[in-house]
Every structure is written in structure tokens, then in C-alpha cells.
Chain A
Amino acid sequence: GAGVSQTPSNKVTEKGKYVELRCDPISGHTALYWYRQSLGQGPEFLIYFQGTGAADDSGLPNDRFFAVRPEGSVSTLKIQRTERGDSAVYLCASSFLDGYEQYFGPGTRLTVT
């Protein structure tokens, strides 16, 4: 079946602009995660959804970052007033609620110029 998909694959934006990154999880997966991977580093947790609600948003770096999952499926990560330090690969993963394995998408590479 289809895996986790993320769009766009690459996004270049100017400093100060607003961006939206989309994640389409595997059908039936109620848990959804966002991670951020800076160059040469491992992914860092941002936010976790159980269904429609954010169960843990402790990894969001500041209030410029926000994520939604209104229908419990597709999720959008929103970044306001982008800064050059936001440049990274944003990874999305999904899993069954009690599943141990998280399935990752190919990520969105965000470049802020």
C-alpha cells in the first residue's frame, strides 16, 4: 500500500515568509509525528498527534511553529515569519496507536534564504 507522503519535496522561501508543509500518513494510522532534521544531525521531535489532537507539542521550538490535523488524517506543519535557522528537512512519520514502528515519509527540505 501507499506509504507516508509529504509535499512539497523541496521548498525555498524568503526570510519572513509563511510556509505550510503537508503530511499524508498511511491509511489507518492514528498516530502522527513531526520531526526536524538539521544538516548532519539526527531527527528531533517536534509534535505528536493522536487522532485530531496534539498529545505532545513539547518539541516545537517557539510560537512561530504550529501544526494541525483537523480530520485525524492529513497534517499540516505551519511556520510563520521564517528564519534562516528554520532551514532543515522536516520529516513526518505515522504509526498505529500502540505500534512500535514509525513509518517515515521522504521529508520536505525547507531552505530559507
Chain B
Amino acid sequence: AQTVTQSQPEMSVQEAETVTLSCTYDTSESDYYLFWYKQPPSRQMILVIRQEAYKQQNATENRFSVNFQKAAKSFSLKISDSQLGDAAMYFCAYRSAREAGANSKLTFGKGITLSVRP
């Protein structure tokens, strides 16, 4: 079974600064997807960024980028130019890339609470 570990329960960053959120995972599969989701107090999970395991290039979405280290099974999220609206819980998640169906479920880490200081 796959596991996702987020060992930092909380982090804080100054507005306009950069912060990195850590995530490690364990799997015996070679092909999979990794995601970062944001969950504000409204509870709505919002996809921030995804990474396909077969791609060596790290994914980037505007101020958000990842550092994907497949051999180390590490998947960290970097937020640049942090904004007050970035304050939320962030979850790292894993999904198998085998055929759609039973393997499509997401396995989440425990999450990290990010606060942004004005």
C-alpha cells in the first residue's frame, strides 16, 4: 500500500517571501501521479499542482513549483512571493497511474497548516 507523509504540522511565512512544504511517499509502483491540494477554511479542496512520475521536469504553475526527487520519493512544494490568500492547509496526495478504476483513488498525507504573516 502507498503512504504519504507530511511531517511538518505547521509552517509560517512572511508575505512576499518563499516557503517550501515537504512531502515524502512510499510506493513500489514506477508510474504514478503526485498532487498538492490546498484546503482553505471553506473546506473546498483545490488542486494546486500535479506531477507525473515519468516526467523528469519539475512542474510549475505560476508562483507554485515542485521539487520532485523520484529516487528519494520526495515531493516538495515551493510557494514564491507568498500572499495572504495562500494561508490554508496543504495536502500532498498520491495516485496510481495504472488503469482508471480502483487505482484512481487519492492517498493523502496529514496536511500542513500554512500561515502568512502580513
Residues on A close to B: CB < 8 A?
31, 33, 35, 40-45, 48, 50, 55-56, 58-59, 89, 91, 93, 95, 97-98, 100-102, 104-107, 109
Contact = CB atoms under 8 A, between A and B. Distances in A.
The listed residue with most B CB atoms (<10 A of its CB), out of A50, A91, A100, is A100
Contacts of A40: 110-111
Nearest to A103: B47
A45 B105 contact: yes
Contact of B50 (A45, A55, A101, A109): A101
A90 to B, nearest CB: 10
Nearest to B95: A100
Interface of B: 4, 6, 33, 37, 42-47, 50, 91, 93, 95, 100-102, 104-111
A56 B108 contact: no
Contacts of A91: 43, 45
Given A55-B101, A59-B105, A42 B111 contact: yes
B104 A95 contact: yes
A106 B42 contact: yes
